[in-house]
């Protein structure tokens, strides 16, 4: 196992992270990689949730008749002003 970082800026960043956290350089890299992987996973989760919400909203839209949609819009006009604030 080996990792040879030849980018001086990256080496400086690792040293700075290690200094600020009190970790070894190896542990600092490990923690940074773990944090980035968690961020990537969370982003993928958001995309999946967004796709699910979009599907549900599409299903709801298709299930409503034109009359029902018009009634919802009329009800909204009674609840909110022209700026979208509650009346």
22-71 tens-digit pLDDT: 999 999 999 999 999 999 998 888 888 899 999 999 999 999 999 999 99
pLDDT score of 82:
85
Q: What is the residue-wise DSSP string for 9-38?
A: HHHHHHHHHHHHHT--HHHHHHHHHHHHHH
CA 36, distance to chain mean position in Å, is: 13
Question: Is 24 within 8 Å of 18 (Cβ atoms)?
Answer: yes
Q: What is the pLDDT of residues 23-32, one digit of tens each?
A: 999 999 999 9
Q: pLDDT per residue over 3-14, tens digit each?
A: 899 999 999 999
């Amino acid at each position: 196992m080996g990792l040879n970082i030849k980018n001086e800026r990256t080496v400086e960043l690792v040293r700075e992270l290690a200094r600020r956290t009190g970790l070894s350089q190896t542990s600092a890299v490990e923690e940074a990689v773990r944090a980035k992987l968690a961020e990537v996973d969370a982003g993928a989760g958001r995309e999946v949730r967004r796709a699910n919400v979009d599907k549900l909203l599409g299903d709801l839209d298709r299930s409503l008749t034109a009359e029902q949609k018009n009634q919802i819009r009329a009800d909204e006009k009674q609840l909110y002003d022209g700026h979208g604030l509650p009346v």
